[in-house]
Amino acid sequence: MELDQILRSRSSVRNYDKKKVDPSLLKKIIAAGENSKALYEDITLHFLLLEDGQEAARKMSGYAGYFGKTIEGPHYVAAVTASKKGYLENLGYRMEQLMVTAFQEGLGTCWIEVLHHESKAKALLHIDDPDLLLLALTPIGYPKVGIGEKLVKSIIDEKSARENLYEMLHWGTWNSKKGESDQEPWVSVLEKVRFAPSWANQQPWQFIIDGDTLILAVMREKKDGLNRNRIDGGIIMFYIEAMVRQKGMNGKWVGPKEGVEKKYKIPENYEIIGSFSLNNAFE
């Protein structure tokens, strides 16, 4: 299945069949995460299988999921990462690759971040590595609703569920707008990837097109501390890069340089997390 089709048919799964997943398949999914491409190679990140999903969900109750409500799944996967510049984006970028593999194997997943209950969650799940933070989890198993139904639903929901791309697009600098121009290479990429998942479907990303270069900004969080939106940023970075490749082009993400926020006139409640330059013309 092509990536744009995956994006249109995937959705977060919150209802799971009790049926266990074959251990060899679970191993394959974990391997897909462990071998996933990194945004930043120097950041250690691992995916751990929690075989007893019911027990994990019970322990996490009150700490993980919207309003502390966990999702029952036959198994869970936990992501643990070193804390280093760019680690939240790197987590989003890599864990989404694991989730795409799970989807391709007919399995459901649902992002659950535990940024604000990190040490509690780690202790409850007996993850002892002192150098790594437990920041995200996902249940994993067979969806209770058939994939076919999901596909239909996602197509029906498609328009209302995601914001209009042009609301998130800026040309050259922040708030510089222009009319719809689907001939632009970046527009055709972004039209597809805007279906990426995000926390509470907030779609906290904004895009600035500066010639061949795309600049990605995400909303800052009101509270001080970790910006959860950076995980969403990493997720869409993965899809953007994959979509660029699907369209026969190349390029790579680079982290923000000093002073870029000023250059692009980014408002204070947003921050730039990366830029991507195309180095191949569209065919």
Ligand X SMILES: Cc1cc2nc3c(=O)[nH]c(=O)nc-3n(C[C@H](O)[C@H](O)[C@H](O)COP(=O)(O)O)c2cc1C
**Site for ligand X, rule CB under 6 A:** 11-12, 14, 65-66, 110-113, 197-201, 231-232, 235
- If the CB atoms of residues 177 and 223 are measured against ligand X, the closer one turns out to be 223
> How does DSSP assign 200-235, residue by residue?
GG---EEEEEETTEEEEEEEPPSSSS--THHHHHHH
Amino acid at the residue 45: L
* Shortest distance, position 190 Cβ to ligand X, whole Å: 16
Residue nearest to ligand X (CB): 197
What three-state secondary structure class fits 2?
coil
Helices (H), the chain: 3-9, 23-34, 53-60, 87-104, 118-124, 147-161, 185-193, 229-246, 260-263
* Shortest distance, position 196 Cβ to ligand X, whole Å: 8
**Rounded to whole angstroms, how far apart are CA atoms 262 and 239?**
27
- If the CB atoms of residues 238 and 264 are measured against ligand X, the closer one turns out to be 238
* Shortest distance, position 158 Cβ to ligand X, whole Å: 10
- If the CB atoms of residues 113 and 271 are measured against ligand X, the closer one turns out to be 113
Side-chain-side CA neighbours of 275 within 13 Å: the count stands at: 18
The burial of 174, by beta-carbon neighbours within 10 Å (0-12 exposed, 13-18 middle, 19 or more buried), is given as middle
- If the CB atoms of residues 145 and 260 are measured against ligand X, the closer one turns out to be 145
Cβ of 158: how many Cβ atoms within 10 Å? 11
* Shortest distance, position 176 Cβ to ligand X, whole Å: 28
* Shortest distance, position 65 Cβ to ligand X, whole Å: 4
- If the CB atoms of residues 24 and 160 are measured against ligand X, the closer one turns out to be 160
